[in-house]
């Protein structure tokens, strides 16, 4: 069993990175890996609520973020600096998570066995 950290640093819809990252996270979780998700830089835009990507013909993978607890993925973090950069309030995010400072995130990356960036 490995501790895998997955960093989301790209915004949704413009590329498939977010969807691929979430697919990887859920798949890894089904293989009993210990997963933590970290939203950083423009990746915090995955957390904006009430998105309707169908309006541009894009798949609504964001709904699946609500299923993280079902996959036993409890460690979900967002970078405090990134949220501030994009003027997002923690209370206004689509899913419950812990806001961490860059230094705390750096520590998380040190503790993880593997880190993947999407």
Partner 1 sequence: MILHIVQYSAAQDNALATSLRYIQPQDTLLLMGDGINSLLQRKWQATLSDTQVCLLEQDVVARGLQTRLGQYQQLSQAEFVQYTLTHAKVITW
* Contact stretch for partner 1 (CB under 8 A) within 17-25, 27-35, 38-46, 55-63: 38-46
Q: How far is the CB of 9 from partner 1 (least distance, A)?
A: 5
Q: How far is the CB of 17 from partner 1 (least distance, A)?
A: 11
Interactions with partner 1, residue window 44-103 (CB under 8 A): 79, 81, 102
Establish if 115 lies at the interface with partner 1 (CB under 8 A): yes
By beta-carbon proximity to partner 1, the closer residue of 62 and 105 is 105
By beta-carbon proximity to partner 1, the closer residue of 99 and 115 is 115
Q: Which residues contact 31 (CB under 8 A, 6 or more apart)?
A: none
Cα–Cα distance measured from residue 67 to residue 24, given in angstroms and rounded to the nearest whole number? 14
Cα–Cα distance measured from residue 45 to residue 35, given in angstroms and rounded to the nearest whole number? 20
Q: Are the C-beta atoms of 73 and 97 separated by less than 8 Å? A: no
Other C-beta atoms within 10 Å of 44: how many?
Answer: 22
Q: Which residues contact 51 (CB under 8 A, 6 or more apart)?
A: 12, 60, 62, 94
Binding site for partner 1 (CB under 8 A): 9, 40-42, 79, 81, 102, 105-106, 109-110, 112-115, 117
């Amino acid at each position: 069993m490995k501790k895998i950290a997955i960093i989301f640093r790209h915004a949704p819809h413009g590329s498939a990175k977010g969807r691929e990252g979430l697919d990887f996270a859920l798949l890894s979780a089904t293989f009993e890996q210990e997963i933590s998700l970290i939203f950083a830089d423009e990746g915090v835009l995955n957390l904006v609520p009430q998105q309707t990507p169908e309006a541009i013909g894009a798949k609504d993978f964001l709904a699946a973020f609500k299923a993280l607890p079902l996959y036993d993925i409890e460690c979900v973090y967002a970078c405090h600096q990134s949220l501030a950069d994009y003027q997002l309030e923690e209370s206004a995010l689509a899913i419950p998570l812990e806001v961490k400072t860059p230094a705390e995130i750096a520590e998380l990356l040190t503790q993880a066995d593997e880190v993947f960036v999407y």
